[in-house]
Amino acid sequence: MRTNKMCAILGNLNQFKDLLPLTENRPLATLPFDCKYRLIDFNLSSIVNANINTVFMVFNEDETQSVFDHIGGGKEWNLDGVQNRFFIHVYQDFLKRKAEDKHYYDTVIDYLLKSKSEYTVFMGSKMLCNIDLRAVLKIHQMQGNQLTVVYKRVGKDNIHPSDLLLDVAENGKITQVATAKESLLGEVNNLCADIYIMQTQALIDALRVGQNEGISVNMETFLRSKITEVNSSSYEYTGYLKNIYDMKTYYEANMDMLDTRKFNSLMYSNQKIYTKLKNEVPTYYSEASEVENSQFASGSIIEGTVRNSLVSRQTMVKPGSVVEGSILMANSEIGEDSLVKYAILDKNVVVEPGVKIVGTKEQPIVLKKGSHVISDIYGGD
């Protein structure tokens, strides 16, 4: 007998060249965020907080190492037990099976059958939010439709051409869908968050029929196509959401965490955010250090000036140096009397003493993992 519970599928296939070099060796889902988190933490936390105990994740090949390094055995998200488990599969294997004229969704169908769940939630990877999936399920049950789609009302400056926009009637029914590329954007738009809830058996049936008809191997694309094919209702998410698809939106999402209202909306709703734990000493601030409106993870040594910035674990900011409007990822080292302004430094970046790195808010300088900076870098306008 099926219980009134959900299983989850995470689609992590979004790739945007405008996020390079940060996504050169990692998926968008494991991009560092707000000093100690990864973007995938928010999806996994929403899933755990909804008492979902099985997760099926799909990634592109050559991107899974970062995922395993972060998730490990799944302990922090309570996914390391006999009943609580997660599965990771490679998207290109599905493509290969389709090319060989085989049933490419059989692995997903097998997962859904074994989950013994009444409902399935699907979540994409580029919408940063902290959503109560139990509330979405309740609306889904009340509406009695086959598919429920989550959307957020956003300005036109936070929409990618590939995003899906919805026309929603007063009763919540979705009347029309179109990509942003095909639409005339208004000041406020109903952005599909690519979060869906569907009856599990209905999804199994649709996948079985669809793979015989050559439907998309990308489940996000498949579910988008189902919105107008079945009776679909909507759920308006009103909390913090950031659509991350390029360096500007990624930078803005991090900087939003220095805004108390936005930080509390994302981090301190009624749902806790879980991440990989590290037992480290607190960050040390010398008597000469100056800190203003910034956040720091553990294990760092701050001897210089840090303003309006986010500093990750095990980072050193040496005397006389100034960091402003920047994101410093783990194990960075900012040499004496150097300046880092409007920049994003990936992990293990070393900035030599006296070096200046200066970008703009609109175009921050981005340094790839392991860079060693020995001369000045200027960018932007």
In this predicted model, what pLDDT tens digit does every residue of 131-163 receive, in sequence order?
999 999 999 999 888 999 999 999 988 999 999
Residue with tokens 């960018």: 379
| pLDDT score of 269 more than 80 | no
Judged against a pLDDT cut of 80, whether residue 374 lies above it is answered with: yes
pLDDT of residue 1: 35
Q: What angle do CA 364, 366, 367 make, to 5 degrees?
A: 150
Strand 316-317 and strand 333-334: the pairing is parallel
HSE value, Cβ hemisphere, 13 Å, CA-based, for 141: 12
Q: What is the mean pLDDT of residues 4-14?
A: 88
- If pLDDT is split at 50, 70 and 90, which confidence band does 268 have? confident
Residue 82 binned pLDDT confidence (cut-offs 50, 70, 90): low
pLDDT > 80? residue 217: yes
Between CA 19 and CA 39 the distance in angstroms is 14
Does 380 have pLDDT greater than 70?
Answer: no
pLDDT (mean) for 12-16: 86
Model confidence at 185, pLDDT cuts 50, 70, 90, reads: confident
